[in-house]
Structure 1
């Protein structure tokens, strides 16, 4: 799935299973444990200009409507 800022802007609603989620504005650049595991060079590459908009570390979502999410549920932009 294309998680880029262009395709999944802040506020975009997503349905997974029966749950409705909203894309957060928070940029997931990785924590200290992640940096230690994969190295500073990888972290710097993830946050480099032109890469941040691709959201290579994924996106964070907040719950708008709770529901059940199961393995292999379809993810749909609303």
Structure 2
């Protein structure tokens, strides 16, 4: 059975719940490794590494359209999405991973709360928020609907970073589902 895509009004009705996300101490809800394009592996435990991001993920080998030579963008090594926003657009936890992010966290990702340069401790690892924008793509439209992309890319959506944020690993370490996330 196909999942119905939510309308803009239905999506906007979920904003208050998203805005109640923790601002200083959150929780890592889900770890998703992408070993190859369109493939997802849910992990209970993962390793973040300063050179490769999430160990076993295809970030480094996939490369990026945002770099002149097509190599992996170091400022988009690891993507984090607010788990409340993911739950709203996906409508069920088993569809979160389709967004394509590696970490789904119950944490306020707004520009005001964690501007570029902010460091977050997740388990033993530390990641740093980068200024590289993270926006919805064609796959996001297919999976969640056009209104979902318009919602996450609206002025409010961009301010709250509803599509997520890009980060880079600055201290390698082990992470696990349920780990606390602390703004440093």
Asked if Structure 1 and Structure 2 have the same fold, meaning a TM-score greater than 0.5 normalized by the shorter chain, the answer is yes
Unmatched runs of 5 consecutive residues or more in structure 1:
none
Aligned length: 78
Aligned-pair distance for 1:28?
Answer: 1.7
Farther off after superposition, 37-46 or 11-20: 37-46
Which residue number in structure 2 is paired with residue 36 of structure 1? 142
- Give distance in 1, aligned partners of 2:141 and 2:132: 18
1:3-14 paired onto structure 2 within 5 Å: 3-14=109-120
Which structure's residues are more often strand, by fraction?
2
- Give distance in 1, aligned partners of 2:133 and 2:119: 17
Which structure's residues are more often helix, by fraction?
2
Q: Which has the larger radius of gyration?
A: 2
Over the residues paired in the alignment, what is the CA RMSD in angstroms? Answer: 1.2
- Give distance in 2, aligned partners of 1:68 and 1:77: 17
- Give distance in 1, aligned partners of 2:152 and 2:145: 11
User: Secondary structure of the equivalent of 2:155?
Assistant: coil
Which 4+ residue blocks in structure 1 deviate beyond 3 angstroms? none
Which residue number in structure 1 is paired with residue 162 of structure 2? 56
Tell me, yes or no, if structure 1 residue 19 matches structure 2 residue 125: yes
> Contact conserved, 2:125 with 2:174, CA < 8 A, in 1?
yes
Farther off after superposition, 8-17 or 55-64: 55-64
- Give distance in 2, aligned partners of 1:27 and 1:39: 20
> Contact conserved, 2:119 with 2:126, CA < 8 A, in 1?
yes
Please report the TM-score for the alignment, with normalisation by the length of structure 1: 0.89
Deviations 1:25-77 (A, max 9, x none): 12221221111111222211211123211011222211001011111111001
